[in-house]
Amino acid sequence: MSLYYDAVSILTAPSTTGGSFKSRIYNARNIKSAPAQIYALIIEASKWDILLKEVIEAAGILKLEPKLTPLLSLLLVHDLLLAKSGLAAKSTHPLRQTIERHKTRLRGEFTKARVRRGCATIPALKDAIAREKLALQGAAGISTAIYPRWVRVNNIRTTLEKQLSTTFAGYEQVSSLAELILPKRMVLDPHVPDLIAVAPGAEFTSSPAYKNGEIILQDKASCFPAYLLVGDEDEGWDDGGGLLDGCAAPGNKTTHMASLLAKQQHKHNKGTGTYHIFSMDQSPIRAKTLQKMVSTAGADTMVTVLPGQDFLALDPTDPRFENVSGLLLDPSCSGSGIIGRDDVPKLTLPESTTTSSSSSSTGKKRKRRANDEDDSREGKKSSTTTTTTTMTESPSATDENDVPVTGMTEERLIKLSNLQTRIVEHALSFPAATRVTYSTCSIHLLENEAVVSRILASEVARTRGWRVLRRDEQPVGMKKWVHRGVREERVVEGGAATGGEGVEVTLSDEELEGCLRYGEIKEEQNEVEVDEKLDEDEEGEDEWEGFSD
Ligand SMILES: C[S@@+](CC[C@H](N)C(=O)[O-])C[C@H]1O[C@@H](n2cnc3c(N)ncnc32)[C@H](O)[C@@H]1O
């Protein structure tokens, strides 16, 4: 039974720990059950919450069983009615017996709720509930479209055109993220090729395209580094050198690089062996996930995974790397940019005689920056930021991040910044390197622009003539991106991390243009203008566009 108590403890813990919802579970110290099991239970229960509330209230079990809390009852009833293997508890456990005393009633109410919605099957019912939830959120003024689900088409296995006529066949193409409030709508991203935004609740993990690696769920910000490095099919990577991903697990950016290369190769009729990618992670466990993702994406022939390899221990003069000309570095960071992603499910709970209804079960949402307006609508904005810098020689989240932000102090940020700087400096020393991207999912200047500034001042950068890539040299979609580097730390109100305020960098305007920030941005239709206009507009009101994995 600890599964249900563990899930309750995760959902009711104060949100001071930061990180994505998944990382909070994996980093929780007080749980006994498998983190994956807790995660799956909460995510699944959150998809059904409004129906479960209806069933539990109609069955009246909270009045009959005073030991059950609304949240506990919702999780238990979910498993009783919907989990393939039923309740995860011994038949003698008192909590299981409490629920099972009412199983006939609960099942009866569940059937009535299904029939009321005219659904013959459970999948049809699931769809109906997803639509009801979206409509309810819309009615409450919560724009779910601000947290779209991002789907990247994998050019190794398929094409955008094929996916539009299969996976997205029933989808209506709309032009702004705000219109994703209704299901079965999609936006083709104007910045990153082959990237599609859909409504946040959209489920793809059981689709053939997802299982076959034709589509990959990867947030927009996490797509910047590979695109900046590899570029478009017409003006992209053409120096024939190899690529290297130094901090690669779970593999989103490695597989994105492979996809971009595959597109270029198809277009120019080159064989898939033309380019090669070395991909590594110092964690042997995470490297297994990396290898799995590479294989699922069909990139085995393009990518060599070096499991458990510390990038800093890699010898740049090793003959294997003599042609490596592009390196992508996405090292461990504070993860502060994903702290506000609000991906902790908020469950609508059943009413008991003593408990008020529809309470949000989960921790508080992180506040936005002090100077943001309109904080009143829950989920309106988040402070998610990924910064990517591309450097040239005369360079994400899901669970990409592996450092919990718990107790993040300035001292800790400086340590991370030191390590990040060492990692990028090491990349700059590869003999054939001409381009390097560095990215974090941190909002802190210390981990972003300050790292760039330190790298530029390093000996290797000065002797080798490294500089930051100018905006006019960036791939087409990235030139249009509005948010660029900043000189001063942005103050984040109420954030768990405090470090870095007061820190400044002296990067030139041109160098800041090479640092792309992901965060609150303007509506996309304003971004198709010329660069100068975009710069002017940047000062204006901004709209949240998505979040990073
Ligand atoms: C933010 S995650 C990378 C996410 C990945 N780029 C993606 O897009 O899926 C950082 C990874 O860097 C790895 N890492 C940190 N320092 C490293 C080093 N010195 N050498 C190799 N891997 C390292 C960590 O184990 C972690 O898996």
Residues 237, 241, 247, 248: what is their CA dihedral angle, to the nearest 10 degrees? 70
Question: How far is residue 414 from each of residues 157, 244, 331, 451, 492, measured CA to CA in Å?
Answer: 41, 26, 14, 10, 18
Q: From the CB of 62, is ligand 1 less than 6 Å away?
A: no
Poorest-confidence range of 173-182, 189-198, 265-274, 386-395?
386-395
End-to-end Cα spacing for the chain = 31
* Mean pLDDT value of segment 442-468: 95
Q: Under a CB-based contact definition with an 8 Å cutoff, are residues 440 and 424 in contact?
A: no
Residue 267: per-residue pLDDT:
79
Residue 525: per-residue pLDDT:
28
Q: From the CB of 252, is ligand 1 less than 6 Å away?
A: yes
Q: From the CB of 18, is ligand 1 less than 6 Å away?
A: no
* Mean pLDDT value of segment 494-502: 51
Residue 343: per-residue pLDDT:
63
Distance in angstroms (rounded) separating the CA atoms of residues 466 and 485: 18
Residue 353: per-residue pLDDT:
55
Compare 387 and 264 and report the one with higher pLDDT. Answer: 264
Q: From the CB of 387, is ligand 1 less than 6 Å away?
A: no
* Mean pLDDT value of segment 344-365: 56
Q: Under a CB-based contact definition with an 8 Å cutoff, are residues 387 and 346 in contact?
A: no
Q: Under a CB-based contact definition with an 8 Å cutoff, are residues 197 and 153 in contact?
A: no
* Residue nearest ligand 1's atom 12 by CA: 247
Q: CA nearest 103: which of 79, 131, 123, 124?
A: 79
Helices (H), 180-304: 208-211, 220-230, 252-267, 284-296
Are β-strands 242-245 and 215-217 bridged in parallel, bridged antiparallel, or unpaired? unpaired
Residue 208 above 90 pLDDT? yes
Residue 112 phi/psi, 5-degree rounding, is: -60, -40
Q: From the CB of 98, is ligand 1 less than 6 Å away?
A: no
User: Angle at Cα 453 formed by Cα 506 and Cα 517, nearest 5°?
Assistant: 90
Give residue 280 CA to ligand 1 midpoint distance, Å: 8
Query: pLDDT, tens digit, for every residue of 302-345?
Result: 999 999 999 999 999 999 999 999 999 999 998 877 644 456 77
Band of residue 419 on the pLDDT scale cut at 50, 70, 90: very high
Strongest mean pLDDT among 126-130, 136-140, 361-365, 393-397: 126-130
pTM of the model as a whole: 0.69
Helix (H) or strand (E) holding 424: helix 410-428
Q: What is the average pLDDT value for the chain, to the nearest integer? A: 81
* Residue nearest ligand 1's atom 5 by CA: 248
* Mean pLDDT value of segment 526-535: 26
Residue 237: per-residue pLDDT:
63
Q: Is the ipTM of this complex over 0.95?
A: yes
Band of residue 79 on the pLDDT scale cut at 50, 70, 90: very high
Give residue 283 CA to ligand 1 midpoint distance, Å: 8
Q: Under a CB-based contact definition with an 8 Å cutoff, are residues 518 and 224 in contact?
A: yes
* Mean pLDDT value of segment 66-73: 93
Are β-strands 387-393 and 515-517 bridged in parallel, bridged antiparallel, or unpaired? antiparallel
Residue 25: per-residue pLDDT:
85
Give residue 366 CA to ligand 1 midpoint distance, Å: 25
Q: Where are the extended beta strands (E) located within 294-338? A: 303-307, 324-329
Three-state DSSP at 484 gives strand
* Residue nearest ligand 1's atom 27 by CA: 249
Structure tokens at 234: 């017409």
What pairs with residue 517 in β-bridges?
387
The string of DSSP letters for 383-412 reads: ----EEEEEEE-----S------TT--HHH
Residue 304 carries which DSSP code?
E
Three-state DSSP at 185 gives strand
Give residue 375 CA to ligand 1 midpoint distance, Å: 34
Residue 355 above 60 pLDDT? no
Residue 342 carries which DSSP code?
-
Residue 440 above 70 pLDDT? yes
Residue 361: per-residue pLDDT:
38
Residue 275: per-residue pLDDT:
76
Helix (H) or strand (E) holding 122: helix 122-139
Poorest-confidence range of 109-113, 298-302, 310-314, 397-401?
397-401
Residue 516 carries which DSSP code?
E
The 10 Å CB-count burial string (b at 16+, else e) for 514-525 is: bbbbbbbbbebe
3-state helix, strand and coil shares in percent for the chain, rounded to the nearest 5: 40, 10, 45
| % of the chain exceeding 70 in pLDDT | 75
* Mean pLDDT value of segment 248-267: 94
* Mean pLDDT value of segment 359-367: 35
Band of residue 531 on the pLDDT scale cut at 50, 70, 90: very low
